[in-house]
Amino acid sequence: MPDAPAGITRDEVAHLARLARLAVSDDELDVFAGQLDVILGAVARVQQVAAADIPPTSHAVPLTNVLRPDVLRPCLDRDEVLAAAPAAEDGRFRVPRILDEEV
Amino acid sequence: MSELTRLTGAELARAIADGQTSAVEVTQAHLDRIAAVDDRLHAYLHVDTEGALAAARAVDAADGPKGPLAGVPLALKDVIVTRGVPTTVGSKILEGWIPPYDATVTRKLKAAGIVILGKTNMDEFAMGSSTENSAYGPSHNPWELDRIPGGSSGGSAAAVAAFTAPLGIGTDTGGSIRQPAAVTGLVGHKPTYGGVSRYGLVAFSSSLDQAGPFARTVLDAALLHEAMAGHDPCDSTSIDAPVPPVVAAARQGAGGDLTGLRVAVVKELSGEGYEPGVEAATRDALARLEKLGATVHEVSCPSFAYALPAYYLIAPSECSSNLARFDSVRYGLRVGDDGVRSLEEVMSLTREAGFGAEVKRRIILGTYALSSGYYDAYYGQAQKVRTLIGRDFAAAFEHADVLVSPSTPTVAFPIGERANDPLAMYAADLCTLPASLAGVPAISVPSGLSEGLPVGLQVMAPALADDRCYRVAAALEADHGHPLTQEAPAL
Amino acid sequence: MTTALSTEDAAGIAERYDPVIGLETHVELGTASKMFCGCPTTFGAEPNTQVCPVCLGLPGALPVANAAAIESTIRIGLALHCDIASWCRFARKNYFYPDMPKDFQISQYDEPLCTDGYLDVLVEGKTFRVEIERVHLEEDTGKTLHVGGATGRIHGADHSLVDYNRAGIPLVEIVTRPVFGTGALAPAVGRAYVTELREVLRGLGVSDVRMEQGSLRCDVNLSLSPAGSGVLGTRSETKNVNSLRSVERAIRFEMGRQAQRLDAGERIVQETRHFHEDTGVTTPGRSKEEATDYRYFPEPDLVPLAPDADWVERLRATLPELPAQRRVRLAAELGATDFELESMANAGVLELVAATAAAGAPAAEARNWWLGYLAQKANEAAVEAADLAITPAQVARVIALVEDGTLSTGLARQAVDGVLETGADVDAVVAERGLVRVSDVDALGAAVDAAIAAQPDVAAKIRGGKVAAAGALVGAVMKATRGQADAATVRELILQKLS
Ligand SMILES: [Mg+2]
Ligand SMILES: [Zn+2]
């Protein structure tokens, strides 16, 4: 069982914010870094319990094999859908240019 | 205020069915009450006057037998999507979004002839315990306007406690129904996870979110529970089993006889951090339970001490993924699209501008807990704690029919008091988190006042035994003599 | 930077380096509805007309898994000799991209539905066992159109347009283990694997496997290690290799590119590269170093899958005969050698030969016709042999007529031509064109006399004992009788008359 990392640095928070697509300001970074460090300190207690032999619980209800038959259901009206979009063109959602490295 | 707004949902439905009043009259009375007092409460984000009156007219026009809540108005938390009616989830990022579909809960309410008055205020994306995290400003507690009405479902709680609606719907991820119910003197129930469909409930933490009822009486809560619950093929986690007989249980409990009921008090949910007034009200409630024939003993659930850390890893982790879709592409806010910036920049600017501080904090925390290298130490461990908490419940229920604790460690705190102290804010959910993590049902029922402010008792039962919660709550309510909200100061 | 195309062939490279290939194939299942919602999966519909709250990722929408997609995936796993998990979960793969409505993809991570299988492929008489590491189920993404800038390229585009019709279509990912020991055959083995996989999937009827429509898509991994060293080299992952031919070309190109770099003492960067159908070249994309952390975790909106033995066995019972089994059986029935088997398979005539044999023709004859004259005809018409306007039954009839002496080989070919031209039946063509071989002496006598009269000098030679010269007269008679005369009889007659 790995131990809790020492704490969370401002740089780590900046990296996480980038990962999460949040353009946080420098002031925000300072505040978040401090608060997250405190919060992480508190939640790191989960590592005091629960040894290897304890199975994780990902679902509160013990269900399996919940499936739907392969049948069609009505779709949404395209005009209604695109009306809610920030920008649309030729029946499609319009977005700004996409950065290369995303490919 | 009109007498109609003092009546319970059950009473209103009967009066409408008997023709003593009409759904339109009842709806108008509540719309008037909203117009009169909501500027002080800010319980509603959107009042759907036209839609409500149209729904009421439809109920009045329909002939044949009416449902047990037909024509009764309701305040709907803004996290439940409503076709054609704005749904913001208390966030700027969804400002102005008009959903093209109805949540399953919304459909069921409409089918039951329940009149949706409007959408209520909430902590942004249901993250909070005070509604102070709403992007549209906080709601106020009708008992003392400068105090919080609880959260995240504070708007619905404030609306029902202030008689602007007899019924309300909230969602509970870590206590967001039970804690507001407790601090506003209402009955609020978090159903068994999977008991109420999540389809159309804007996700915060998928493995924890459950919608449930607010009402001023246990019977009303039970009637609403039956109207909104049941299996839904559109929700893979929805349980395919009959809805527990909660209405029958509420009626039975109202008889005031709990003979033979085994009640266990959770040792870990008391002591340090719990207000004396809250502990006193809890002791009083336990005494009354014994008076009603129940046996009371103490039980220890050691893992409950880890519920808070586990919750604050699981919920943020899931929300960091659930909230990724708010990316300025398909709906909602878009910021900084100047024709030069890349999509990635626009996405980041939009999310930065569209999310509030608490939401961003949790997204970052969750992103951290899920990232490779930390997953096992945080998310993985939290999932194991979840197993342990489930085991503690199972063990406790071997010797008890229900577990009880205070619903919250304190009464409603003043607005602003914990705004800048996340951990202090998180502590408001101390008592409610275990049931959320285990997916078991839990109700908050008024247990008295502490310095003039409501205190709630939490009653937890095994999965799918929601009826036990209602039976015990109804017995306590009957013993108290009247709904606690009758003692609330008129606005 | 783009690498100049290496002109060295695979054989040459294989002398210095051992190529190691790996293939990741994505297959769109042919279910009626999408993976997690009831939207149709029809190809080529108007953009954003096959979307709903679920596949658009609208707030509040929830996924429910398509039973048919689960069963198709299990059947694929069984056909590839995989173990089927008795319990597994879907996972969320988190990364931001506009063609992914939820900004995470519902996929499977450490608990795939099927694991540890294999697929045998036959190349140049050698069988290569391609080990399957995993087969898992996920959802497809939408389609992004890049507007402005270089044609359709993301680079330099002014903005992009997204269509979510494809988003949420069930996608099966089939991942091989590294394939060693293919040497110079690496490109051919890669192609043969995808070809064979496509046959398996087609046989299962789980997908239309149309590479040109993207319902079968390939990523090709390749690395080179110094010959005999056994040290794994750094691999490149080449994306959108979307035709069988491209699989071969992409592997060949990467072999050349990597060999060049290694020869020059440079190192290979682990990176994603893109194959360009037009030029046959791969160019670099995002290098793995800066790849995002996907933050996989179990999908909380879907409950675990737990296929029990009964379910799996019921599905196993629905498996058709697999191409490999079928080939082995047919080879036995046709008494074909591995080499003959491979040549028939590669020419795409194995089924035709089998059907012709089944219609009563000797296997060898059937094989000769389909690999010979008919293959040549198909070539001339630039169609698959299977698409020729002649049925195995008709071919069998032609063969029968040759066997019973009714037709000579030349006449048989004329009969085949007739069938191909008119679509009429063999016997009809034979009758109509009077394709009967004439062996009756009186009938031939006149023609023979005429031939002798026409070439007195040749006749003289024969009389003088130069029997070989008879050929010229035989040819003349055959010509005069439009090939219908029986050459042997004619020769006899000539020799009689001139002795
Ligand atoms: Mg994949
Ligand atoms: Zn859909």
Q: What is the pLDDT of residues C136-180, one digit of tens each?
A: 999 999 999 999 876 667 777 899 999 999 999 999 999 999 999
Q: In Å, how far is A40's CA from the nearest CA of chain B?
A: 8
Of the candidates B309, B363, B385, which has its C-beta nearest A42's C-beta? Answer: B309
Average confidence (pLDDT) over B476-487: 95
Residues B472, B262: Cα–Cα separation, whole Å = 11
pLDDT of amino acid C97: 94
Q: Is pLDDT larger for residue B249 or for residue C337? A: B249
Q: Is pLDDT larger for residue B382 or for residue C480? A: B382
- Subunits with 3+ C-beta pairs closer than 8 A to A: B, C
pLDDT in tens, B329-356: 999 999 999 999 999 999 999 999 999 9
**Weakest-pLDDT range from B294-308, C130-144, C145-159, C311-325:** C145-159
pLDDT of amino acid B419: 86
Residues C193, C186: Cα–Cα separation, whole Å = 10
Q: In Å, how far is C239's CA from the nearest CA of chain B?
A: 23
* Mean pLDDT across chain C: 91
pLDDT in tens, B23-32: 999 999 999 9
Residues of B in contact with A45 (CB under 8 A): 306, 309
Residue C173: nearest ligand to its CA?
1
Phi, psi of C375 (to 5 degrees): -60, -40
pLDDT of amino acid C52: 98
pLDDT of amino acid C390: 95
Q: Which residue of C has its CA nearest to B380?
A: C297
Do C213 and C43 meet the contact criterion of CB atoms below 8 Å apart?
yes
pLDDT of amino acid C342: 81
Kindly report whether the peptide bond that precedes residue B270 is cis, defined as omega within 30 degrees of 0: no
Q: Which residue of C has its CA nearest to B200?
A: C60
Do A44 and B416 meet the contact criterion of CB atoms below 8 Å apart?
no
Ligand 1 (single-atom ion) residues, CB below 5 Å: C 173
pLDDT in tens, C415-431: 999 999 998 999 999 88
List the one residue out of B331, B352, B349 whose CA is nearest residue B341.
B349
Whether the per-residue pLDDT at C230 is higher than 90: the answer is: no
**Residue numbers of C between 81 and 100 with CB closer than 8 Å to B:** 92, 94, 96, 98
pLDDT of amino acid B415: 97
CA of C26 to the centre of ligand 1 (A): 7
Residues B217, B160: Cα–Cα separation, whole Å = 11
Across the interface, whether the CB atoms of A39 and B100 are under 8 A apart is answered no
**Weakest-pLDDT range from C103-112, C197-206, C374-383:** C374-383
Query: Which band of pLDDT confidence, cut at 50, 70 and 90, is reported for residue A4?
Result: very low
Kindly report whether the peptide bond that precedes residue B152 is cis, defined as omega within 30 degrees of 0: yes
Across the interface, whether the CB atoms of C303 and A63 are under 8 A apart is answered yes
pLDDT in tens, A13-37: 999 999 999 999 999 999 999 999 9
Average confidence (pLDDT) over B173-196: 98
Whether the per-residue pLDDT at A57 is higher than 70: the answer is: yes
Residues C240, C230: Cα–Cα separation, whole Å = 29
CB atoms within 10 A of CB C211: 18
pLDDT of amino acid C291: 57
pLDDT of amino acid B199: 98
**Which residues lie across from C170 on neighbouring strands?**
C139
Residues C408, C437: Cα–Cα separation, whole Å = 7
pLDDT of amino acid C9: 84
pLDDT of amino acid C344: 87
Q: Which residue of A has its CA nearest to B362?
A: A36
pLDDT of amino acid C327: 84
Beta-sheet pairing, C271-276 with C236-241: parallel
Residues B55, B49: Cα–Cα separation, whole Å = 10
pLDDT in tens, C184-196: 999 999 999 999 9
pLDDT of amino acid C3: 46
Largest CA distance in chain B: 73
- Tell me whether 0.90 is exceeded by the ipTM: yes
B436 is an active site residue: no
Average confidence (pLDDT) over C79-108: 97
Element (H, E) at C47: none
Whether the per-residue pLDDT at C69 is higher than 80: the answer is: yes
pTM: 0.90
**Weakest-pLDDT range from A42-56, B446-460, C199-213, C264-278:** A42-56
**Residue numbers of B between 223 and 252 with CB closer than 8 Å to A:** 233, 236-237, 239
**Percent of chain C whose pLDDT exceeds 70:** 96
B207 is an active site residue: no
pLDDT in tens, B395-427: 999 999 999 999 999 999 999 999 888 888 888
Query: Which band of pLDDT confidence, cut at 50, 70 and 90, is reported for residue C437?
Result: confident
pLDDT in tens, B128-180: 999 999 999 999 999 999 999 999 999 999 999 999 999 999 999 999 999 99
Query: Which band of pLDDT confidence, cut at 50, 70 and 90, is reported for residue C289?
Result: very low
